[in-house]
Amino acid sequence: MRRKLNRQTNLFTTVSNNPIARELEEISKIIDANPGVLDLVYQDLVRAKRDDTGREGLTAEQVLRCCILKQYRQLSYEELAFHLDDSSAFRGFSRLEMGQYPCKSILQENIKSLSEETWEAIHNQIIDYAQSEEIETGKKIRIDSTAIETDIHHPTDSTLLCDGIRVISRWLSAGKQLSPQPVYPFSDHARAAKKRLMVILNTRKDKARLAAYRELLWYAGRVIAYAEAAIPALWSFEGSDSLAARALASKLERAVGILRKVVDQTVRRVIRGEKVPASEKVVSFFEDHTDIIVKGRRDVQYGHKVFLTGGASNLILDCLIERGNPADSDLYRELIERHKEQFGRAPRQVSADGGFASRNNLAFAKGSEVKDAVFAKKRGLTVVEMAKSAWVYKMLRNFRAGIEAGISTLKRAFGLDRCTWSGWRGFKQYVWSSIVSYNLLVLARTRLAKA
């Protein structure tokens, strides 16, 4: 039966004097001071694997600590498995027992079992701990937004068509390996599609590029027809491989739906010369939840928009992950309301990026008993309306700039420039786990500075 934590610490565990080891020791003390987080982790692990037979597996405490290590040091699962085998500091922090050496697949299976709701609940407990230790009061906050990319290549119509043809062809070929062999027409056009892709990418002549696009669209149509014929045959398949056949049919249904959208947008954009709205575009065959994010006149990013609330302690107090590309000003009220739920009261002072500025948002903040609600850009608002004096306005505007350092650290040191976990659920898990690890490090360094 799986356990929440180890019954006894290894007697041979020693504490290093290395700065990283000291930070890990402080993080360990913070986790020990919040035993409630282990209940949350334990529930997810038990839910993911219900049978109690066989080996016990990693404890809830070990899974949480291993994930924090992974995000804190920006390790792959293979690198994490190596360091847990090689480093005494990492093994001591993870509370691994003698002879316990989890492989990368076990680490991934356990870490990915923790839901985004669990990570958010862990985050809330850590913020409550910061309040109880008087490290954070929540009276002065700063708000900003950023875009986090998903793990996709730069999307073009030609590469998306080629991705669809290649993946569907691979699955159709896998279906032919079932026993008995299902009957449906199939020809592998992946090589021919790649040749047309190379023409599109390398030719300088518009006529040759358009002809290659038409041929690529023809191949995509053929592959869709093969898949539509294969899907009912796979659903009705009877034999020892029936489960595999149904799984292939489900994958093909999803892939055909995406490829149809790619064909439609390619015809509209390339053949007819239309402008396709961002909300109607497909930008990835694999991470199809990806949104197109444009912030001002900057480069287009492919991922999701994330709204962050920071405190005077440099902790990230809240995170809101949104689909689409909502305006900053549309989320200002929700961020204030979420802060009130977390701290039981509205902040006394709020400083937000210029994109959040609007007269309605200012009126809402003042109506919520926020004394000073400052925006980095005035956008028709006066200093007197936002703050009680020009000095307070300037002080809060400068205070807001501090969250840029937090965002930079999250992206540079905690991997939030690009999410490497797959799916919409995986994206939210990755963001929240990175924020929890970042906050634990900020708390650890604060405690070390006071010591």
Q: Which amino acid is at 177?
A: Q
Please spell the DSSP secondary structure of 11-59, one letter per residue: TT-----SHHHHHHHHHHHHHHT-THHHHHHHHHHHHH-----S-----
Place of tokens 């994330």: 306
Tally of residues, the chain: 451
Give the separation between CA 41 and CA 111, rounded to whole angstroms: 10
- Three-state DSSP state, 433: helix
Give the separation between CA 132 and CA 36, rounded to whole angstroms: 15
According to the model, what pLDDT value does residue 9 have? Answer: 60
According to the model, what pLDDT value does residue 71 have? Answer: 95
Residue 51 has pLDDT above 60, yes or no: no
Give the tens place of pLDDT for each residue, 227-283: 999 999 999 998 888 899 999 999 999 999 999 999 999 999 999 999 998 888 999
According to the model, what pLDDT value does residue 3 have? Answer: 75
Q: Residue 57: how many CB atoms within 10 A of its CB?
A: 17
The model's confidence at residue 179, banded by pLDDT at 50, 70 and 90, is confident
Least confident of 107-111, 153-157, 206-210, 276-280: 276-280
According to the model, what pLDDT value does residue 48 have? Answer: 80
Domain residue limits, the chain:
19-114, 135-152+289-423, 157-280
Q: Which amino acid is at 144?
A: D
372-381: Cβ within 8 A, 24+ apart? 372/348, 372/396, 373/349, 374/349, 374/350, 374/400, 375/351, 376/351, 376/352, 376/400, 376/401, 379/354, 381/357
The model's confidence at residue 99, banded by pLDDT at 50, 70 and 90, is confident
The architecture (CATH level 2) of 135-152+289-423 comes to: 2-Layer Sandwich (3.30)
Give the separation between CA 333 and CA 346, rounded to whole angstroms: 11
Give the separation between CA 233 and CA 124, rounded to whole angstroms: 49
Check: CB of residue 203 under 8 Å from CB of residue 209. Answer: yes
The model's confidence at residue 298, banded by pLDDT at 50, 70 and 90, is low
Residue 1 has pLDDT above 70, yes or no: no
Torsion of CA 281, 286, 287, 288, to 10 degrees: 30
Written as six digits, the tokens of 31 are 């986790």
